[in-house]
């Protein structure tokens, strides 16, 4: 036997001895992996393989056999090839990473928050009479009239619809600081009002309308203003994404205004309502009316409103709007035009 043959024989004996003395990692499916046990604690086996390197396996998925605890040969499958060992190791269970734990916790927290919001929404909807829908709004308004006013405003509107009858109610309340033309800040002033509207569809696109409203405005010295309007309307556009109505009729109005003796006024009226949905998240709303006394054309009123509404979540909307109101029936020294810029958050129901 030459030197090369002797070296090969020694190497084979050494490998055989190391194999016999090696530890064995036995998986539940019967696959085996030879190597050496590094540690076994806290439910995790750390095992070193000459082929695959260091592995970590849960104790529930495998066990380690050492030469000390194997006294006799155990019948079983032969040792798998290196390729089989690598494939088995690739599919072997691993311990959960800390990042996965944090992700699971975040997902659970999001689910809990969604469930809480759903409970709040259900409780909110439970106080609304069946069939009614509308919106509650809270916002901030800047008013420019005979004085400047910054105020908080709360509004609500609600509708009840069936095939030919449509009912609506509305209301608002403003309070805030007022600064007159000389820059003097006055005491807090209030503005509030509301109304009721009814529409009856007597044809597919034609409808009869009745609107009753009330207003009290301390800034413009309007103690009481009550208006009743009767008219006929026509739906020019009545699509899902766009709606346009026009109306015309007569109005009777009671005015209790500081410095004015005349209380009753009668007007010819005309108006429109427009709504366009760009998509499910954004829409534009616009409406206007004008009232004029046919016996004295100097007595007239008009209102113009334009607003954009963004849907932030399923039940929260944000809006930015402009409103101009001109009333020639106000007291002496009072500016007839009032302009408002309003930012608000609304909760549809």
What would the mean pLDDT of 68-88 be, rounded to a whole number? Answer: 47
At residue 242, the pLDDT reads 96
CA distance 179 to 201: 46
Q: What is the mean pLDDT of residues 19-24?
A: 62
**pLDDT tens digits, one per residue of 95-112:** 445 566 777 777 777 777
Domain 132-348: top CATH class: mainly beta
pLDDT of residue 3: 41
Which pTM does this prediction carry? 0.63
Mean pLDDT taken over the chain: 79
pLDDT the model gives residue 335: 77
Domain with CATH 2.40.160.40 in the chain: 132-348
Residue 261, pLDDT score: 86
The DSSP-derived string for 95-140 is PPPHHHHHHHHHHHHHHHHHHHHHHHHHHHHHTSPTTEEEEEEEEE
174: pLDDT confidence band, cut at 50, 70 and 90? confident
CATH topology of domain 15-91: SH3 type barrels. (2.30.30)
Report whether 200 contacts 165 (CB < 8 A). Answer: yes
pLDDT in tens, 105-158: 777 777 777 777 777 777 766 777 777 788 889 888 887 765 555 666 777 787
Q: What is the pLDDT averaged over residues 37-60?
A: 80
Cα distances (angstroms) measured from residue 164 to each of 131, 206, 238, 273, 279: 15, 11, 14, 18, 27
Sheet holding 23-27, edge to edge: 53-58, 44-49, 32-41, 23-27, 62-65
Compute the distance between CA of residue 26 and CA of residue 235 in angstroms, rounded to an integer.
79
Q: What are 234's strand-pairing partners? A: 206, 246
DSSP 51-109: TTEEEEEEGGGEEEE-TTT--S----PPPPPHHHHHHHHHHS--PPPHHHHHHHHHHHH
Q: Where in the chain is the domain with CATH 2.30.30?
A: 15-91
Residues of the chain with pLDDT > 70, as a percent, come to 77
Give the position of tokens 């020019």: 236
Mean pLDDT, range 163-190, rounded to an integer: 73
- Residue 188 pLDDT > 70, yes or no? no
Task: Give the span between the Cα atoms of 331 and 297, in whole angstroms.
Answer: 18
Burial (CB count within 10 angstroms: exposed 0-12, middle 13-18, buried 19+), residue 217: buried
Cα distances (angstroms) measured from residue 116 to each of 111, 112, 136, 311, 318: 9, 6, 20, 20, 22
Tell me: the pLDDT tens digits for 281-291? 999 999 999 99
In angstroms, the CA 211 to CA 193 distance is 13
* Per-residue confidence band for 19, with pLDDT thresholds at 50, 70 and 90: very low
């Amino acid at each position: 036997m030459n030197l090369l043959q002797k070296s090969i024989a020694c190497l084979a004996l050494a490998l055989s001895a190391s194999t016999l003395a090696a530890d064995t990692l036995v998986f539940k499916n019967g696959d085996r992996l030879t190597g050496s046990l590094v540690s076994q604690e806290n439910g995790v086996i750390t095992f070193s393989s000459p082929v695959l390197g260091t592995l970590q396996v849960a104790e529930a998925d495998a066990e380690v056999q050492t030469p000390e605890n194997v006294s006799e040969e155990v019948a079983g499958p032969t040792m798998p090839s290196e390729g089989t060992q690598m494939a088995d190791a690739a599919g072997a269970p691993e311990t959960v990473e800390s990042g996965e734990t944090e992700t699971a916790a975040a997902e659970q927290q999001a689910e809990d928050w969604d469930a809480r919001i759903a409970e709040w929404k259900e409780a909110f909807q439970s106080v609304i009479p069946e069939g009614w829908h509308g919106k509650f709004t809270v916002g901030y308004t800047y008013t420019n009239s005979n004085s400047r006013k910054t105020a908080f405003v709360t509004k609500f509107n609600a509708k009840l619809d069936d095939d030919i009858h449509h009912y609506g109610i509305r209301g608002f309340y403003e309070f805030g600081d007022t600064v007159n033309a000389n820059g003097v800040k006055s005491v807090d002033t209030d503005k509030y009002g509301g109304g009721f509207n009814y529409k009856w569809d007597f044809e597919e696109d034609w409808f009869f309308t009745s609107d009753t409203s009330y207003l009290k405005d301390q800034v413009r010295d309007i103690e009481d203003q009550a208006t009743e309007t009767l008219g006929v309307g026509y739906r020019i556009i009545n699509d899902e994404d766009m709606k346009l109505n026009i109306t015309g009729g007569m109005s009777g109005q009671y005015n209790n205004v500081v410095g004015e003796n005349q209380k009753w006024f009668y007007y010819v009226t005309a108006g429109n309502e427009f709504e366009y949905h760009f998509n499910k998240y954004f829409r534009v709303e616009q409406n206007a009316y004008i009232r004029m006394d046919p016996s004295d054309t100097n007595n007239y009123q008009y209102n113009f409103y334009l607003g954009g509404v963004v849907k932030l979540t399923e039940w929260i909307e944000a809006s930015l709007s402009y409103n101009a109101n001109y009333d020639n029936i106000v007291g002496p020294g009072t500016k007839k035009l009032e302009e408002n810029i309003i930012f608000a958050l609304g909760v549809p129901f």
